[in-house]
A and B are shown apart, each in its own frame.
Chain A
Amino acid sequence: MARDFSINRLPGFASVAILTFFLLYLPIFTLVVFSFNEAASMSRWEGFSLKWYEAAFQNRQVRDVSIRSLWLAATAASFATILATLAALGTTRTSKFKGQTMIYALINQPLMVPEIVTGVALLIFFAAIKVQTGYTGMGYLVAAHTAFCIPFAYLPIRARLETMDNTLEIAAADLYAGPIKTFVHITLPLLLPGIFAGLMLGFVISLDAVVITEFVKSAGQDTLPTYMLGQLRRVVTPEMNAIATLFLLLSVLAVTIFFVLSRKRA
Protein backbone atom coordinates (compact mmCIF):
# COMPACT_ATOMS: atom_id res chain seq x y z
CA MET A 1 0.00 0.00 0.00
CA ALA A 2 1.58 3.20 -1.14
CA ARG A 3 -1.13 5.29 0.46
CA ASP A 4 0.14 8.09 2.66
CA PHE A 5 -0.87 8.08 6.26
CA SER A 6 -3.75 10.48 6.82
CA ILE A 7 -4.74 11.58 10.29
CA ASN A 8 -8.39 11.90 9.33
CA ARG A 9 -8.92 8.60 7.62
CA LEU A 10 -10.83 5.80 9.28
CA PRO A 11 -10.99 2.62 7.21
CA GLY A 12 -14.34 1.86 5.61
CA PHE A 13 -15.94 5.09 6.75
CA ALA A 14 -15.95 6.73 3.34
CA SER A 15 -17.58 3.65 1.79
CA VAL A 16 -20.34 3.59 4.40
CA ALA A 17 -20.88 7.32 3.94
CA ILE A 18 -21.14 7.06 0.16
CA LEU A 19 -23.51 4.11 0.55
CA THR A 20 -25.62 6.15 2.99
CA PHE A 21 -25.83 9.07 0.59
CA PHE A 22 -26.72 6.65 -2.19
CA LEU A 23 -29.50 5.08 -0.10
CA LEU A 24 -30.70 8.50 0.92
CA TYR A 25 -31.09 9.72 -2.63
CA LEU A 26 -32.09 6.50 -4.39
CA PRO A 27 -35.78 6.64 -3.37
CA ILE A 28 -36.06 10.35 -4.12
CA PHE A 29 -34.35 9.82 -7.45
CA THR A 30 -36.69 6.91 -8.28
CA LEU A 31 -39.68 9.02 -7.39
CA VAL A 32 -38.59 11.82 -9.69
CA VAL A 33 -37.61 9.56 -12.58
CA PHE A 34 -40.88 7.66 -12.57
CA SER A 35 -42.86 10.88 -12.68
CA PHE A 36 -41.65 11.11 -16.28
CA ASN A 37 -42.63 7.53 -17.11
CA GLU A 38 -44.94 6.94 -20.05
CA ALA A 39 -46.55 3.90 -18.43
CA ALA A 40 -49.25 4.03 -15.82
CA SER A 41 -47.62 1.18 -13.97
CA MET A 42 -44.54 1.99 -12.02
CA SER A 43 -42.93 -1.36 -12.40
CA ARG A 44 -41.22 -0.65 -15.70
CA TRP A 45 -39.88 2.29 -17.63
CA GLU A 46 -41.64 2.79 -20.94
CA GLY A 47 -40.29 6.07 -22.15
CA PHE A 48 -40.23 9.74 -21.31
CA SER A 49 -43.48 11.63 -20.98
CA LEU A 50 -44.82 14.76 -19.33
CA LYS A 51 -48.36 13.47 -19.35
CA TRP A 52 -48.54 12.95 -15.57
CA TYR A 53 -47.60 16.56 -15.02
CA GLU A 54 -50.31 17.53 -17.47
CA ALA A 55 -52.77 15.34 -15.59
CA ALA A 56 -51.77 16.88 -12.30
CA PHE A 57 -52.20 20.40 -13.64
CA GLN A 58 -55.60 19.55 -15.05
CA ASN A 59 -56.74 17.93 -11.83
CA ARG A 60 -58.92 20.61 -10.27
CA GLN A 61 -58.64 19.11 -6.81
CA VAL A 62 -54.85 19.11 -6.95
CA ARG A 63 -54.90 22.74 -8.02
CA ASP A 64 -57.21 23.67 -5.16
CA VAL A 65 -55.24 21.90 -2.45
CA SER A 66 -51.92 23.24 -3.80
CA ILE A 67 -53.17 26.81 -3.71
CA ARG A 68 -54.54 26.27 -0.23
CA SER A 69 -51.23 24.81 0.94
CA LEU A 70 -49.20 27.67 -0.48
CA TRP A 71 -51.57 30.28 0.91
CA LEU A 72 -51.57 28.62 4.33
CA ALA A 73 -47.78 28.25 4.38
CA ALA A 74 -47.26 31.87 3.31
CA THR A 75 -49.76 33.22 5.85
CA ALA A 76 -48.66 31.08 8.78
CA ALA A 77 -44.95 31.60 8.06
CA SER A 78 -45.43 35.38 7.85
CA PHE A 79 -47.33 35.55 11.12
CA ALA A 80 -44.90 33.18 12.81
CA THR A 81 -41.90 35.19 11.58
CA ILE A 82 -43.29 38.49 12.88
CA LEU A 83 -44.15 36.95 16.24
CA ALA A 84 -40.81 35.11 16.42
CA THR A 85 -38.88 38.29 15.59
CA LEU A 86 -40.56 40.15 18.43
CA ALA A 87 -40.01 37.23 20.78
CA ALA A 88 -36.37 36.94 19.74
CA LEU A 89 -35.87 40.65 20.44
CA GLY A 90 -37.52 40.12 23.81
CA THR A 91 -35.43 37.13 24.84
CA THR A 92 -31.92 37.90 23.61
CA ARG A 93 -29.31 40.37 24.72
CA THR A 94 -30.98 40.89 28.04
CA SER A 95 -30.10 40.14 31.62
CA LYS A 96 -31.79 37.06 33.03
CA PHE A 97 -35.34 37.71 34.15
CA LYS A 98 -38.03 35.79 35.94
CA GLY A 99 -40.11 33.66 33.59
CA GLN A 100 -37.45 33.50 30.87
CA THR A 101 -37.20 29.72 31.16
CA MET A 102 -40.96 29.45 30.87
CA ILE A 103 -40.90 31.57 27.71
CA TYR A 104 -38.24 29.30 26.19
CA ALA A 105 -40.26 26.23 27.16
CA LEU A 106 -43.41 27.63 25.56
CA ILE A 107 -41.63 28.67 22.38
CA ASN A 108 -39.90 25.32 21.99
CA GLN A 109 -42.86 23.22 23.03
CA PRO A 110 -44.00 22.41 19.46
CA LEU A 111 -40.50 20.99 18.85
CA MET A 112 -40.72 18.62 21.82
CA VAL A 113 -44.29 17.39 21.76
CA PRO A 114 -45.00 14.79 19.04
CA GLU A 115 -47.11 16.20 16.23
CA ILE A 116 -49.81 13.59 16.81
CA VAL A 117 -50.26 14.72 20.42
CA THR A 118 -50.55 18.38 19.41
CA GLY A 119 -52.90 17.30 16.62
CA VAL A 120 -55.18 15.47 19.01
CA ALA A 121 -55.11 18.35 21.49
CA LEU A 122 -56.04 20.83 18.77
CA LEU A 123 -58.78 18.53 17.50
CA ILE A 124 -60.38 18.47 20.94
CA PHE A 125 -59.93 22.16 21.60
CA PHE A 126 -61.06 23.43 18.21
CA ALA A 127 -64.01 21.01 18.13
CA ALA A 128 -65.26 22.68 21.30
CA ILE A 129 -64.79 26.15 19.80
CA LYS A 130 -66.46 25.11 16.56
CA VAL A 131 -69.50 23.96 18.54
CA GLN A 132 -69.59 27.18 20.55
CA THR A 133 -69.03 29.67 17.75
CA GLY A 134 -70.10 27.84 14.63
CA TYR A 135 -67.00 29.21 12.85
CA THR A 136 -65.34 26.59 10.66
CA GLY A 137 -63.07 28.76 8.50
CA MET A 138 -59.34 28.61 7.81
CA GLY A 139 -58.59 30.46 11.06
CA TYR A 140 -57.97 27.22 12.93
CA LEU A 141 -55.41 26.00 10.43
CA VAL A 142 -53.70 29.40 10.35
CA ALA A 143 -53.49 29.49 14.16
CA ALA A 144 -52.26 25.90 14.43
CA HIS A 145 -49.64 26.33 11.70
CA THR A 146 -48.49 29.68 13.06
CA ALA A 147 -47.94 28.20 16.51
CA PHE A 148 -46.15 25.22 14.97
CA CYS A 149 -43.86 27.45 12.87
CA ILE A 150 -42.89 29.86 15.66
CA PRO A 151 -40.01 27.79 17.11
CA PHE A 152 -38.58 27.17 13.65
CA ALA A 153 -38.73 30.84 12.69
CA TYR A 154 -37.39 31.80 16.11
CA LEU A 155 -34.19 29.71 15.82
CA PRO A 156 -32.36 31.55 12.99
CA ILE A 157 -33.56 34.98 14.12
CA ARG A 158 -32.35 34.38 17.63
CA ALA A 159 -29.05 32.96 16.37
CA ARG A 160 -28.55 36.07 14.26
CA LEU A 161 -29.35 38.40 17.14
CA GLU A 162 -27.00 36.60 19.46
CA THR A 163 -24.04 36.84 17.11
CA MET A 164 -24.85 40.46 16.31
CA ASP A 165 -22.35 42.93 17.68
CA ASN A 166 -24.37 45.13 20.00
CA THR A 167 -21.71 47.84 19.98
CA LEU A 168 -23.14 48.70 16.57
CA GLU A 169 -26.36 49.83 18.20
CA ILE A 170 -24.41 51.63 20.90
CA ALA A 171 -22.41 53.33 18.15
CA ALA A 172 -25.64 54.41 16.46
CA ALA A 173 -26.92 55.88 19.72
CA ASP A 174 -23.58 57.65 20.12
CA LEU A 175 -24.12 59.14 16.65
CA TYR A 176 -27.42 60.71 17.71
CA ALA A 177 -29.85 57.98 16.59
CA GLY A 178 -32.79 57.47 18.95
CA PRO A 179 -34.15 53.98 19.75
CA ILE A 180 -36.51 53.87 16.75
CA LYS A 181 -33.95 55.18 14.27
CA THR A 182 -31.40 52.73 15.65
CA PHE A 183 -33.81 49.86 15.12
CA VAL A 184 -34.73 50.94 11.59
CA HIS A 185 -31.23 51.82 10.38
CA ILE A 186 -29.08 49.29 12.25
CA THR A 187 -30.89 46.42 13.98
CA LEU A 188 -33.44 45.60 11.30
CA PRO A 189 -31.08 45.63 8.27
CA LEU A 190 -28.58 43.46 10.13
CA LEU A 191 -31.31 41.11 11.30
CA LEU A 192 -32.91 40.78 7.89
CA PRO A 193 -31.06 37.65 6.72
CA GLY A 194 -32.11 35.91 9.93
CA ILE A 195 -35.70 37.02 9.52
CA PHE A 196 -35.74 35.82 5.93
CA ALA A 197 -34.21 32.49 6.91
CA GLY A 198 -36.88 32.15 9.59
CA LEU A 199 -39.57 32.89 7.02
CA MET A 200 -38.24 30.22 4.65
CA LEU A 201 -37.98 27.67 7.44
CA GLY A 202 -41.50 28.43 8.62
CA PHE A 203 -42.76 28.12 5.07
CA VAL A 204 -41.19 24.69 4.61
CA ILE A 205 -42.41 23.50 8.01
CA SER A 206 -45.97 24.59 7.29
CA LEU A 207 -45.87 22.84 3.91
CA ASP A 208 -44.60 19.73 5.67
CA ALA A 209 -47.13 19.71 8.52
CA VAL A 210 -49.44 16.86 7.63
CA VAL A 211 -50.51 15.40 10.98
CA ILE A 212 -51.62 18.66 12.57
CA THR A 213 -53.47 19.66 9.40
CA GLU A 214 -55.18 16.28 9.24
CA PHE A 215 -56.58 16.75 12.73
CA VAL A 216 -57.45 20.45 12.53
CA LYS A 217 -58.95 20.78 9.04
CA SER A 218 -62.69 21.00 8.53
CA ALA A 219 -64.41 19.47 5.53
CA GLY A 220 -63.08 20.82 2.24
CA GLN A 221 -59.91 22.20 3.80
CA ASP A 222 -57.49 19.61 2.46
CA THR A 223 -53.95 20.78 1.89
CA LEU A 224 -51.52 19.12 -0.50
CA PRO A 225 -50.04 16.82 2.18
CA THR A 226 -53.40 15.68 3.56
CA TYR A 227 -54.67 15.17 0.01
CA MET A 228 -51.61 13.07 -0.77
CA LEU A 229 -51.97 11.14 2.48
CA GLY A 230 -55.51 10.25 1.48
CA GLN A 231 -54.50 9.29 -2.07
CA LEU A 232 -51.50 7.21 -1.03
CA ARG A 233 -53.76 4.71 0.70
CA ARG A 234 -55.43 3.99 -2.64
CA VAL A 235 -53.96 2.98 -5.96
CA VAL A 236 -51.09 5.27 -6.79
CA THR A 237 -50.53 6.51 -10.33
CA PRO A 238 -47.43 8.41 -11.53
CA GLU A 239 -49.54 11.53 -11.20
CA MET A 240 -48.63 11.36 -7.50
CA ASN A 241 -44.97 11.23 -8.48
CA ALA A 242 -45.42 14.32 -10.60
CA ILE A 243 -47.13 16.20 -7.75
CA ALA A 244 -44.50 15.01 -5.27
CA THR A 245 -41.70 16.07 -7.62
CA LEU A 246 -43.06 19.60 -7.94
CA PHE A 247 -43.56 19.75 -4.21
CA LEU A 248 -40.00 18.53 -3.68
CA LEU A 249 -38.71 21.23 -5.96
CA LEU A 250 -40.48 23.89 -3.94
CA SER A 251 -39.03 22.58 -0.67
CA VAL A 252 -35.53 22.35 -2.11
CA LEU A 253 -35.80 25.91 -3.34
CA ALA A 254 -36.90 27.21 0.06
CA VAL A 255 -34.20 25.22 1.84
CA THR A 256 -31.55 26.46 -0.56
CA ILE A 257 -32.53 30.05 0.15
CA PHE A 258 -32.46 29.30 3.86
CA PHE A 259 -29.07 27.61 3.58
CA VAL A 260 -27.53 30.52 1.70
CA LEU A 261 -29.01 33.11 4.06
CA SER A 262 -28.04 31.41 7.28
CA ARG A 263 -24.47 31.02 6.08
CA LYS A 264 -24.16 34.68 5.26
CA ARG A 265 -21.96 36.31 7.84
CA ALA A 266 -22.70 39.58 9.52
Chain B
Amino acid sequence: MDDMAGNKTEQATEIKETPKRHLWNWILCAPALTVLVFAASGPLLIVLVYSFLAPGSFGGITWSFSLEGWFRVFFSRDIFDPEIVSLNTAHLTIFWRSISLSLQTTIICAILGFPTAWFIATRPQHTRNIWLFLITIPFWTNLLIRTFAIQEVIRNQGLINTTLIRFGFIDTPIQMMYTDFAIFLGMAYVFLPLMVLPLYAAMDKLDIRYLEAGYDLYASRWQVLRHIILPLVKPGFIAGSILVFIPSIGAYVTPRLLGGGRSMMLGNLIELQFGQGRNWPLGSALALTMLVLVVGALVLYIRTVNREEEPRHG
Protein backbone atom coordinates (compact mmCIF):
# COMPACT_ATOMS: atom_id res chain seq x y z
CA MET B 1 0.00 0.00 0.00
CA ASP B 2 2.96 2.30 0.49
CA ASP B 3 3.57 2.60 -3.21
CA MET B 4 0.15 4.14 -3.57
CA ALA B 5 0.98 6.94 -1.19
CA GLY B 6 2.95 8.68 -3.90
CA ASN B 7 -0.23 9.21 -5.87
CA LYS B 8 -1.77 11.29 -3.16
CA THR B 9 -0.63 14.69 -4.32
CA GLU B 10 -1.47 13.93 -7.91
CA GLN B 11 -5.02 13.12 -6.95
CA ALA B 12 -5.55 16.14 -4.78
CA THR B 13 -7.02 18.14 -7.61
CA GLU B 14 -9.27 21.08 -6.91
CA ILE B 15 -12.05 20.89 -9.41
CA LYS B 16 -13.56 24.28 -10.15
CA GLU B 17 -16.80 23.46 -11.86
CA THR B 18 -18.95 26.58 -11.68
CA PRO B 19 -17.56 29.11 -14.21
CA LYS B 20 -17.35 26.55 -17.01
CA ARG B 21 -20.90 25.32 -16.53
CA HIS B 22 -22.36 28.80 -16.58
CA LEU B 23 -20.69 29.50 -19.89
CA TRP B 24 -22.88 26.70 -21.22
CA ASN B 25 -25.97 28.35 -19.74
CA TRP B 26 -25.21 31.47 -21.70
CA ILE B 27 -24.49 29.55 -24.90
CA LEU B 28 -27.85 27.79 -24.62
CA CYS B 29 -29.72 31.03 -23.96
CA ALA B 30 -27.89 33.08 -26.57
CA PRO B 31 -30.04 32.30 -29.65
CA ALA B 32 -33.30 33.11 -27.84
CA LEU B 33 -31.83 36.24 -26.29
CA THR B 34 -30.56 37.44 -29.66
CA VAL B 35 -34.01 37.17 -31.22
CA LEU B 36 -35.63 38.79 -28.17
CA VAL B 37 -33.22 41.68 -28.16
CA PHE B 38 -33.59 42.16 -31.90
CA ALA B 39 -37.37 41.88 -32.13
CA ALA B 40 -38.73 42.73 -28.70
CA SER B 41 -36.53 44.52 -26.16
CA GLY B 42 -34.09 46.43 -28.33
CA PRO B 43 -36.75 48.31 -30.31
CA LEU B 44 -38.18 49.62 -27.02
CA LEU B 45 -34.98 51.59 -26.54
CA ILE B 46 -35.44 53.14 -29.96
CA VAL B 47 -38.94 54.21 -28.90
CA LEU B 48 -37.33 55.95 -25.94
CA VAL B 49 -34.93 57.77 -28.25
CA TYR B 50 -37.68 58.72 -30.71
CA SER B 51 -39.82 60.21 -27.96
CA PHE B 52 -37.15 62.90 -27.51
CA LEU B 53 -36.93 63.84 -31.20
CA ALA B 54 -38.91 66.20 -33.43
CA PRO B 55 -41.57 64.79 -35.77
CA GLY B 56 -40.98 64.56 -39.51
CA SER B 57 -43.59 66.17 -41.73
CA PHE B 58 -44.88 62.88 -43.22
CA GLY B 59 -44.40 60.58 -40.26
CA GLY B 60 -41.02 59.46 -39.02
CA ILE B 61 -38.72 61.84 -37.20
CA THR B 62 -36.10 64.47 -37.77
CA TRP B 63 -32.90 64.09 -35.85
CA SER B 64 -33.11 67.02 -33.47
CA PHE B 65 -33.67 66.89 -29.74
CA SER B 66 -37.14 67.97 -28.65
CA LEU B 67 -39.32 67.61 -25.57
CA GLU B 68 -42.38 68.48 -27.63
CA GLY B 69 -43.49 64.83 -27.87
CA TRP B 70 -43.60 64.42 -24.10
CA PHE B 71 -45.05 67.91 -23.68
CA ARG B 72 -47.96 67.08 -25.94
CA VAL B 73 -48.85 63.99 -23.97
CA PHE B 74 -50.42 66.26 -21.36
CA PHE B 75 -50.67 69.74 -22.89
CA SER B 76 -51.87 71.28 -26.14
CA ARG B 77 -50.93 74.53 -27.83
CA ASP B 78 -53.31 77.04 -29.30
CA ILE B 79 -53.46 76.68 -33.10
CA PHE B 80 -52.93 80.39 -33.71
CA ASP B 81 -50.59 81.23 -30.89
CA PRO B 82 -48.33 78.29 -29.86
CA GLU B 83 -47.36 80.22 -26.74
CA ILE B 84 -50.82 79.69 -25.26
CA VAL B 85 -50.67 76.37 -23.46
CA SER B 86 -53.57 74.47 -21.99
CA LEU B 87 -54.09 70.99 -20.59
CA ASN B 88 -54.79 68.50 -23.36
CA THR B 89 -58.28 67.55 -22.24
CA ALA B 90 -58.76 65.12 -25.13
CA HIS B 91 -55.74 63.12 -24.00
CA LEU B 92 -56.66 63.35 -20.34
CA THR B 93 -60.14 62.08 -21.14
CA ILE B 94 -58.63 59.11 -22.92
CA PHE B 95 -56.21 58.42 -20.03
CA TRP B 96 -59.08 58.58 -17.60
CA ARG B 97 -61.22 56.31 -19.78
CA SER B 98 -58.39 53.79 -20.09
CA ILE B 99 -57.73 53.65 -16.37
CA SER B 100 -61.36 53.76 -15.32
CA LEU B 101 -62.51 51.12 -17.82
CA SER B 102 -59.58 48.88 -16.87
CA LEU B 103 -60.47 49.15 -13.18
CA GLN B 104 -64.15 48.48 -13.88
CA THR B 105 -63.20 45.49 -16.01
CA THR B 106 -60.97 44.14 -13.24
CA ILE B 107 -63.76 44.54 -10.68
CA ILE B 108 -66.46 42.84 -12.72
CA CYS B 109 -64.06 40.03 -13.61
CA ALA B 110 -63.37 39.53 -9.91
CA ILE B 111 -67.09 39.53 -9.05
CA LEU B 112 -67.92 36.96 -11.73
CA GLY B 113 -64.62 35.12 -11.57
CA PHE B 114 -64.65 34.27 -7.88
CA PRO B 115 -67.84 32.18 -7.87
CA THR B 116 -66.82 30.61 -11.18
CA ALA B 117 -63.41 29.60 -9.90
CA TRP B 118 -64.98 28.29 -6.69
CA PHE B 119 -67.48 26.32 -8.70
CA ILE B 120 -64.70 24.70 -10.75
CA ALA B 121 -62.53 24.04 -7.70
CA THR B 122 -65.33 22.25 -5.86
CA ARG B 123 -66.27 19.89 -8.70
CA PRO B 124 -65.26 16.24 -8.33
CA GLN B 125 -61.85 15.52 -9.85
CA HIS B 126 -63.00 13.99 -13.14
CA THR B 127 -65.51 16.73 -14.06
CA ARG B 128 -63.25 19.47 -12.79
CA ASN B 129 -60.90 19.04 -15.73
CA ILE B 130 -63.79 19.49 -18.14
CA TRP B 131 -64.85 22.77 -16.52
CA LEU B 132 -61.26 23.90 -16.45
CA PHE B 133 -60.97 23.06 -20.12
CA LEU B 134 -64.13 25.04 -20.82
CA ILE B 135 -62.64 28.13 -19.20
CA THR B 136 -59.30 27.60 -20.95
CA ILE B 137 -60.78 27.38 -24.46
CA PRO B 138 -61.91 31.02 -24.66
CA PHE B 139 -58.63 32.00 -23.02
CA TRP B 140 -56.62 30.66 -25.95
CA THR B 141 -59.00 31.35 -28.80
CA ASN B 142 -58.36 34.37 -30.91
CA LEU B 143 -59.12 37.64 -29.16
CA LEU B 144 -60.27 39.13 -32.44
CA ILE B 145 -62.79 36.36 -32.94
CA ARG B 146 -64.11 36.73 -29.42
CA THR B 147 -64.45 40.48 -29.87
CA PHE B 148 -66.24 39.83 -33.15
CA ALA B 149 -68.51 37.41 -31.33
CA ILE B 150 -69.49 39.94 -28.67
CA GLN B 151 -70.01 42.51 -31.41
CA GLU B 152 -72.52 40.13 -33.00
CA VAL B 153 -74.44 40.07 -29.73
CA ILE B 154 -74.61 43.79 -28.93
CA ARG B 155 -74.92 45.28 -32.42
CA ASN B 156 -78.07 47.25 -33.29
CA GLN B 157 -79.09 44.25 -35.40
CA GLY B 158 -77.42 41.87 -32.99
CA LEU B 159 -78.81 39.06 -30.85
CA ILE B 160 -79.92 41.20 -27.89
CA ASN B 161 -81.63 43.95 -29.83
CA THR B 162 -83.43 41.67 -32.31
CA THR B 163 -84.62 39.44 -29.49
CA LEU B 164 -85.87 42.37 -27.42
CA ILE B 165 -87.65 43.87 -30.43
CA ARG B 166 -89.20 40.56 -31.42
CA PHE B 167 -90.72 40.10 -27.99
CA GLY B 168 -91.91 43.70 -27.98
CA PHE B 169 -89.86 45.00 -25.08
CA ILE B 170 -88.46 47.82 -27.18
CA ASP B 171 -89.27 49.44 -30.52
CA THR B 172 -85.92 50.87 -31.50
CA PRO B 173 -82.62 49.12 -30.83
CA ILE B 174 -80.60 50.17 -27.81
CA GLN B 175 -77.35 51.72 -28.97
CA MET B 176 -74.66 49.67 -27.27
CA MET B 177 -71.95 49.58 -29.91
CA TYR B 178 -69.44 52.44 -29.94
CA THR B 179 -69.94 53.30 -26.27
CA ASP B 180 -67.74 52.98 -23.21
CA PHE B 181 -70.12 50.29 -22.05
CA ALA B 182 -69.37 48.22 -25.16
CA ILE B 183 -65.63 48.42 -24.48
CA PHE B 184 -66.19 47.49 -20.85
CA LEU B 185 -68.37 44.54 -21.82
CA GLY B 186 -65.92 43.40 -24.48
CA MET B 187 -62.89 43.59 -22.21
CA ALA B 188 -64.67 41.87 -19.35
CA TYR B 189 -65.68 39.15 -21.79
CA VAL B 190 -62.23 38.57 -23.28
CA PHE B 191 -60.20 38.91 -20.07
CA LEU B 192 -62.43 37.00 -17.64
CA PRO B 193 -60.51 33.70 -17.94
CA LEU B 194 -57.38 35.57 -16.83
CA MET B 195 -59.08 36.18 -13.49
CA VAL B 196 -60.59 32.71 -13.12
CA LEU B 197 -57.39 30.74 -13.70
CA PRO B 198 -55.19 32.21 -10.91
CA LEU B 199 -58.17 32.21 -8.55
CA TYR B 200 -58.74 28.56 -9.33
CA ALA B 201 -55.06 27.84 -8.75
CA ALA B 202 -55.26 29.46 -5.31
CA MET B 203 -58.47 27.61 -4.41
CA ASP B 204 -57.08 24.32 -5.60
CA LYS B 205 -54.35 24.63 -2.98
CA LEU B 206 -56.82 25.59 -0.26
CA ASP B 207 -57.01 22.87 2.37
CA ILE B 208 -60.63 21.87 2.96
CA ARG B 209 -59.79 21.24 6.61
CA TYR B 210 -59.57 24.99 7.20
CA LEU B 211 -63.22 25.26 6.22
CA GLU B 212 -64.11 22.29 8.39
CA ALA B 213 -62.29 23.89 11.29
CA GLY B 214 -64.15 27.14 10.64
CA TYR B 215 -67.57 25.47 10.69
CA ASP B 216 -66.51 23.39 13.68
CA LEU B 217 -65.84 26.63 15.54
CA TYR B 218 -69.38 27.88 14.88
CA ALA B 219 -68.71 30.15 11.86
CA SER B 220 -71.59 30.77 9.47
CA ARG B 221 -71.11 30.34 5.72
CA TRP B 222 -70.66 34.06 5.35
CA GLN B 223 -68.10 34.14 8.15
CA VAL B 224 -66.17 31.23 6.66
CA LEU B 225 -66.12 33.03 3.32
CA ARG B 226 -65.12 36.32 4.89
CA HIS B 227 -62.58 35.13 7.47
CA ILE B 228 -61.14 31.97 5.95
CA ILE B 229 -61.65 31.63 2.19
CA LEU B 230 -61.10 35.22 1.10
CA PRO B 231 -57.86 35.79 3.04
CA LEU B 232 -56.46 32.48 1.85
CA VAL B 233 -57.20 33.02 -1.84
CA LYS B 234 -56.10 36.65 -1.74
CA PRO B 235 -52.88 35.94 -3.68
CA GLY B 236 -55.06 34.53 -6.47
CA PHE B 237 -57.15 37.69 -6.44
CA ILE B 238 -54.09 39.89 -6.66
CA ALA B 239 -52.56 37.84 -9.48
CA GLY B 240 -55.85 37.73 -11.37
CA SER B 241 -56.35 41.48 -10.99
CA ILE B 242 -52.93 42.24 -12.41
CA LEU B 243 -53.48 39.79 -15.26
CA VAL B 244 -56.74 41.54 -16.18
CA PHE B 245 -55.64 45.10 -15.54
CA ILE B 246 -52.46 45.03 -17.64
CA PRO B 247 -53.99 43.86 -20.94
CA SER B 248 -56.97 46.17 -20.30
CA ILE B 249 -54.69 49.19 -20.09
CA GLY B 250 -52.94 48.02 -23.24
CA ALA B 251 -56.15 47.08 -25.08
CA TYR B 252 -56.26 48.04 -28.72
CA VAL B 253 -58.42 45.61 -30.70
CA THR B 254 -61.44 45.65 -28.39
CA PRO B 255 -61.83 49.46 -28.17
CA ARG B 256 -61.11 49.76 -31.89
CA LEU B 257 -63.92 47.39 -32.83
CA LEU B 258 -66.41 48.13 -30.06
CA GLY B 259 -65.55 51.74 -29.19
CA GLY B 260 -65.13 53.11 -32.65
CA GLY B 261 -63.73 56.59 -33.21
CA ARG B 262 -65.49 58.29 -30.32
CA SER B 263 -64.61 56.02 -27.44
CA MET B 264 -60.85 55.71 -27.81
CA MET B 265 -58.48 54.15 -25.35
CA LEU B 266 -54.77 54.75 -24.93
CA GLY B 267 -53.85 52.02 -27.40
CA ASN B 268 -55.91 53.65 -30.14
CA LEU B 269 -54.45 57.07 -29.37
CA ILE B 270 -50.96 55.63 -29.80
CA GLU B 271 -51.91 53.99 -33.09
CA LEU B 272 -53.38 57.25 -34.27
CA GLN B 273 -50.00 59.01 -33.97
CA PHE B 274 -48.40 56.45 -36.26
CA GLY B 275 -51.33 56.53 -38.69
CA GLN B 276 -53.29 59.67 -39.49
CA GLY B 277 -51.65 61.79 -36.79
CA ARG B 278 -48.12 61.31 -38.19
CA ASN B 279 -46.53 62.36 -34.94
CA TRP B 280 -44.08 59.58 -34.10
CA PRO B 281 -42.41 61.33 -31.14
CA LEU B 282 -45.80 61.92 -29.50
CA GLY B 283 -46.77 58.31 -30.30
CA SER B 284 -43.52 57.10 -28.76
CA ALA B 285 -44.05 59.22 -25.66
CA LEU B 286 -47.62 57.90 -25.34
CA ALA B 287 -46.40 54.31 -25.75
CA LEU B 288 -43.88 54.86 -22.99
CA THR B 289 -46.60 56.45 -20.83
CA MET B 290 -48.59 53.24 -21.24
CA LEU B 291 -45.51 51.22 -20.37
CA VAL B 292 -45.06 53.31 -17.21
CA LEU B 293 -48.67 52.58 -16.21
CA VAL B 294 -48.13 48.85 -16.75
CA VAL B 295 -44.80 48.76 -14.95
CA GLY B 296 -46.36 50.81 -12.14
CA ALA B 297 -49.11 48.22 -11.77
CA LEU B 298 -46.51 45.43 -11.79
CA VAL B 299 -44.38 47.13 -9.15
CA LEU B 300 -47.45 47.62 -7.00
CA TYR B 301 -48.26 43.94 -7.49
CA ILE B 302 -44.76 42.76 -6.55
CA ARG B 303 -44.77 45.00 -3.48
CA THR B 304 -48.15 43.68 -2.39
CA VAL B 305 -47.04 40.10 -2.86
CA ASN B 306 -43.84 40.69 -0.91
CA ARG B 307 -45.75 42.37 1.90
CA GLU B 308 -48.19 39.46 1.99
CA GLU B 309 -45.37 36.96 2.26
CA GLU B 310 -43.27 38.72 4.85
CA PRO B 311 -45.17 37.86 8.04
CA ARG B 312 -45.24 34.20 7.11
CA HIS B 313 -41.50 34.04 6.76
CA GLY B 314 -40.83 36.25 9.78
Which residues of A are in contact with B by a Cβ distance under 8 Å? 7-14, 16-18, 20-21, 23-28, 30-31, 34, 41-44, 79, 82-84, 86-87, 89-91, 94-95, 97-100, 103, 106-107, 109-110, 112-118, 120-125, 127-128, 143-144, 146-148, 150, 154, 201, 204, 207-208, 210-211, 215, 225, 228-229, 232-233, 240-241, 244, 247-248, 251-252, 254-256, 258-259, 263
Are B29 and A91 interface neighbours, CB within 8 A?
A: yes
Contact residue among A17, A116, A208, A232 (Cβ-Cβ distance under 8 Å from B287):
A116
List chain A residues, Cβ under 8 A from B152.
Answer: 27, 30-31, 34, 42, 241
- A42 and B149 CA atoms in complex are apart in Å by 12
Whose C-beta in chain B lies nearest to the C-beta of A105? B41
**1/0 per position for B148-166, CB-CB distance to A under 8 A?**
1111110001110010000
Output the residue of B60, B129, B149 with the most chain A CB within 10 A: B149
Q: Give B8 Cβ to nearest chain A Cβ, in Å.
A: 27
List chain A residues, Cβ under 8 A from B208.
Answer: 7-8
Q: Give A1 Cβ to nearest chain B Cβ, in Å.
A: 13
List chain A residues, Cβ under 8 A from B18.
Answer: 95, 97
List chain A residues, Cβ under 8 A from B119.
Answer: 13-14, 16-18
Which residues of B are in contact with A by a Cβ distance under 8 Å? 18, 21-22, 24-29, 31-33, 35-44, 46-47, 50, 60, 112-113, 115-116, 118-120, 122, 129, 131, 133-138, 140-146, 148-153, 157-159, 162, 189, 192, 208, 211-212, 215, 221, 225, 229, 246-247, 249-250, 252-253, 256-257, 267, 270-271, 274, 280, 283-284, 287-288, 290-291, 294-295, 298
Q: Is the interface of B mostly helix, strand, loop or mixed?
A: helix
Are A106 and B290 interface neighbours, CB within 8 A?
A: no
Are A123 and B274 interface neighbours, CB within 8 A?
A: yes
Q: Give A101 Cβ to nearest chain B Cβ, in Å.
A: 13
List chain A residues, Cβ under 8 A from B158.
Answer: 42-43
Are B142 and A42 interface neighbours, CB within 8 A?
A: no
Whose C-beta in chain A lies nearest to the C-beta of B212? A7
Give 19 new A-B contacts, CB below 8 A, not counting A87-B32, A91-B25.
A16-B119, A17-B116, A24-B134, A24-B189, A27-B189, A31-B149, A41-B157, A42-B158, A109-B41, A115-B250, A116-B270, A125-B43, A128-B46, A143-B39, A204-B140, A210-B143, A229-B257, A232-B144, A258-B140
Output the residue of B22, B146, B148, B284 with the most chain A CB within 10 A: B148
Are B35 and A120 interface neighbours, CB within 8 A?
A: no
Contact residue among B44, B142, B253 (Cβ-Cβ distance under 8 Å from A113):
B44
| Given A143-B35, A251-B142, also A117-B137 (CB < 8 A) | no
List chain B residues, Cβ under 8 A from A211.
Answer: 252-253
- A154 and B29 CA atoms in complex are apart in Å by 11
Are A122 and B39 interface neighbours, CB within 8 A?
A: yes
Contact residue among A24, A44, A99 (Cβ-Cβ distance under 8 Å from B192):
A24
Whose C-beta in chain A lies nearest to the C-beta of B113? A20
Q: Give B83 Cβ to nearest chain A Cβ, in Å.
A: 31
Contact residue among A23, A44, A82, A114 (Cβ-Cβ distance under 8 Å from B291):
A114
